[in-house]
């Protein structure tokens, strides 16, 4: 099935309509709608239970970050009395109030799915979270020995006295506040004691002596409650309450006035530990007086308090979703395939020289990208490697290769973005390793966040310098490359090489911006190039030509870009948008956006690729990019927009877009009122785009392996 184009009567140019606030959807509410679509996957009865559990954990992690960053920013504006409206016409206070309503309903739905569906199903399948009352005497004895050896020495009870400084409760850690009663000399006294459960302790403690094939566990907070009395000999714990706080993490480094960005970032990380509480989650059933004490302790004046009908911190279900021995409760794996464009054992330099290589991850393995960098580190003909690192894997093969390259005497320049939120500490640590190996380290670009994905390798060949490049839509992270859908483009085209060198000179040397021949860079022209492409299609439509725009991105929020798409629709351009998350554009408005269709895909992999397609009179111009259509990407970050010129690569990118728009299984269509609905399936069998890509990747490599044992023929460059 292919996605249908608008009917002729809706495709004709419309009378121009003035664009106003009502034509924009609120960014924060649109993000919450995205998380609701993810939660809908956790509710899918046809999915294996551990896949559903994984989606539940994703929604919890997403919501944590949303509160810490987006709600944190709104809270700052509210405290400052700012009444500036967003493009949809809402003030910070109005947004905050609507977020609380929506988030409250969302949390209720999370726990409905967990308590009413997932936990009973897990128990039925042999994965059981036990309550303390279910423990046998033998299990209790075993757990007491475990607690005494592994937990008791680690935790530190903190008495909360009125005459002592306020205690800082760590963010996102489960905490327990208890009342302890003691009697001395016939007089009874009572005090409050706080425990926090550090993240380096296991959340789930295995319970022994259960039936074969079962996985039984006790949550760490339950284990603490069972043996809490061990901390208070001769005293009595009369009540306890569990809670968890989220702190405002919307704290940015002022690198315009910073002389030492690395030291400044360390200060920011420290400041986040003490930032105001934004959200307090308290487990249902807590005594009223302890709830008041928790609110006072955490500063509830600036925080929203949620009573949670179940266990805290559902992110822990990531561990449950990955349990070994329960493969029948997981989805059937789709293996990442090798690229048929690369011969087994072939040098990546030889493969790229033969023709541009397009990889669609994770259906096609990320290994060729890592292989190119690892080969470059060991190759005596490689003289220099330049790379941008934004988010990397915990034990990154790429960073290890760059360290080896520097140690081997190659000229290695790495721009490490220290402002990659929540990855700052890891990036600081790895940057230090690179520095010690002899690499040149650039800590980001002053005043901007560097988000571009590019690696440049310079190699001497027959007396000439040849540049090999990787451009991507995703991070240099071999872990997330198995979970996110992204595009890699490997090339050694000369004009791209010249542009890549000029790009690195611009960002590392802060040299004056120069015009690039092929690529475009934000914030110095990327937005303008995209706008010129949209305007070109708009003008073609006004001249009576067939005009079409297909865009795939993670988020669409930028007002200028949305306005340009509205103008294109009014001129009669067919506009199809595949937007994973935030979408502030309102489709289907008569006279404004009836030629615009917006689809979102939520499935096994996180859709992360950015692909931009413009028909251009039947000679399509197609780009991949690190940038979404968001103001922060286009105006406040270093991003890249890369045209893909290889004919076969362009066909594949077009096919990827068309397949997503035809998805009648996991696709959701944005309605005019901002809600999302399943597409009307008029095919005998629903089409699932991610499954199609997995099967196609397997088929391509199977056909390559069955072909005669000859090298892939050289593809001339257009």
Q: List residues with catalytic annotation.
A: 451
DSSP state at residue 137: H
Return phi, psi of residue 340, to 5°.
Answer: -65, -10
Rounded to whole angstroms, the maximal C-alpha distance in the chain is 96
d(CA 489, CA 640): 13
Do residues 551 and 620 lie in contact, with contact meaning Cβ atoms separated by under 8 Å?
A: no
Of 553, 546, 541, 543, the residue nearest 577 (C-alpha): 553
d(CA 676, CA 670): 5
Of 636, 640, 620, the residue nearest 718 (C-alpha): 620
How far from 447 is each of 81, 515, 631, CA to CA, in Å? 26, 21, 15
Of 396, 450, 76, the residue nearest 261 (C-alpha): 450
d(CA 111, CA 599): 28
Do residues 531 and 502 lie in contact, with contact meaning Cβ atoms separated by under 8 Å?
A: no
State the SS3 of 229-296.
Answer: HHHCCCCEEEEEEEEEEEECCCCCCCCCCCCCHHHHHHHHHHHHHCCCEEEEEEECCCCHHHHHHHHH
Do residues 700 and 340 lie in contact, with contact meaning Cβ atoms separated by under 8 Å?
A: yes
The token pair at 68 is 């810490």
d(CA 668, CA 412): 45
What is the torsional sign of CA 471, 472, 475, 478? negative
How far from 169 is each of 155, 222, 223, 274, CA to CA, in Å? 14, 19, 20, 9
DSSP state at residue 266: H
d(CA 30, CA 144): 48
d(CA 688, CA 692): 6
């Amino acid at each position: 099935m292919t996605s249908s184009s608008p009917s002729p009567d809706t495709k004709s140019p419309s009378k121009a309509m003035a664009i106003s606030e009502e034509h924009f959807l609120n960014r924060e509410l649109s993000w919450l709608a995205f998380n609701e679509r993810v939660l809908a996957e956790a509710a899918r009865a046809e999915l294996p239970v551990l896949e559903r559990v994984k989606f539940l954990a994703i929604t919890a992690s997403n919501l944590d970050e949303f509160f810490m960053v987006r709600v944190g920013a709104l809270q700052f504006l509210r405290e400052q009395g700012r009444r500036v409206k967003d493009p949809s016409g809402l003030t910070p206070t109005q947004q905050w109030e609507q977020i609380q309503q929506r988030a409250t309903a969302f949390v209720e739905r999370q726990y409905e799915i967990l308590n009413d569906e997932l936990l009973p199903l897990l128990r039925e399948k042999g994965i059981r979270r036990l309550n303390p009352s279910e423990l046998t005497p033998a299990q209790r004895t075993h757990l007491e020995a475990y607690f005494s050896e592994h937990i008791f020495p680690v935790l530190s009870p903190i008495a909360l006295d009125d005459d002592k400084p306020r205690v800082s409760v760590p963010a996102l850690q489960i905490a327990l506040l208890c009342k302890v009663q003691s009697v001395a000399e016939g007089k009874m006294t009572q005090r409050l004691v706080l425990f926090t459960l550090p993240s380096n302790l296991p959340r789930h403690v295995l319970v022994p002596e259960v039936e074969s094939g079962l996985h039984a566990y006790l949550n760490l907070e339950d284990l603490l409650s069972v043996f809490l009395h061990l901390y208070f000999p001769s005293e009595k714990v009369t009540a306890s309450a569990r809670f968890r706080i989220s702190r405002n993490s919307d704290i940015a480094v002022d690198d315009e006035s910073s002389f030492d960005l690395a030291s400044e970032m360390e200060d920011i990380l420290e400041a986040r530990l003490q930032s105001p509480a934004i959200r307090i989650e308290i487990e249902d059933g807590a005594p009223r007086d302890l709830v008041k004490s928790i609110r006072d302790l955490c500063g509830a004046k600036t925080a929203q308090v949620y009573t949670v009908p179940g266990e805290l911190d559902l992110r822990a279900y990531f561990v449950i979703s990955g349990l070994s021995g329960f493969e029948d409760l997981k989805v059937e794996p789709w293996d990442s395939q090798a690229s048929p464009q690369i011969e087994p054992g072939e040098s990546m330099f030889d493969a790229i020289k033969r023709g541009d290589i397009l990889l669609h991850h994770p259906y096609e393995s990320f290994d060729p990208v890592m292989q190119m960098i690892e080969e470059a580190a060991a190759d005596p003909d490689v003289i220099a490697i330049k790379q941008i690192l934004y988010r990397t894997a915990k034990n990154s093969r790429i960073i290890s290769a760059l360290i080896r390259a520097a140690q081997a005497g190659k000229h290695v320049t790495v721009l490490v973005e220290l402002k990659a939120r929540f990855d700052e500490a890891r990036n600081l640590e790895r940057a230090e390793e690179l520095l010690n190996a002899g690499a040149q380290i650039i800590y980001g670009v002053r005043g901007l966040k560097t988000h571009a994905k590019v690696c440049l390798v310079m190699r001497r060949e027959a007396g000439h310098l040849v540049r090999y490049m990787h451009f991507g839509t995703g991070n240099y992270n071999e872990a997330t490359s198995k979970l996110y859908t992204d595009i890699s483009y490997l090339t050694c085209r000369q004009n791209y090489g010249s542009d890549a060198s000029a790009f690195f000179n611009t960002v590392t040397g802060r040299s004056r911006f120069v015009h690039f021949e092929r690529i475009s860079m934000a914030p110095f022209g990327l937005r303008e190039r995209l706008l010129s492409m949209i305007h070109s299609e708009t003008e073609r439509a006004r001249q009576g030509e067939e005009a079409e725009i297909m865009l795939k991105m993670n988020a669409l929020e930028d007002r200028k870009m949305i306005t340009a798409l509205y103008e294109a629709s009014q001129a009669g351009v067919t506009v199809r948008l595949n937007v994973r998350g935030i979408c502030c554009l309102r489709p289907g408005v008569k006279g404004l956006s009836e030629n615009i269709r917006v689809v979102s895909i939520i499935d096994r992999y996180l859709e992360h690729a950015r692909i931009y397609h413009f028909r251009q009179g039947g000679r399509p111009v197609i780009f991949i990019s690190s940038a979404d259509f968001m103001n922060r990407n286009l105006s406040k970050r270093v991003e890249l927009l890369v045209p893909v010129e290889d004919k076969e690569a362009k066909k594949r990118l077009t096919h990827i877009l068309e397949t997503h728009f035809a998805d009648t299984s996991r696709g959701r269509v944005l309605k005019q009122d901002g809600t999302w609905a399943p597409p009307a399936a008029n095919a005998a069998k629903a089409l699932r785009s991610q499954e199609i890509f997995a099967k196609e990747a397997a088929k391509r490599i199977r056909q390559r392996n069955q072909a005669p044992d000859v090298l892939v023929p050289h593809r001339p460059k257009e």
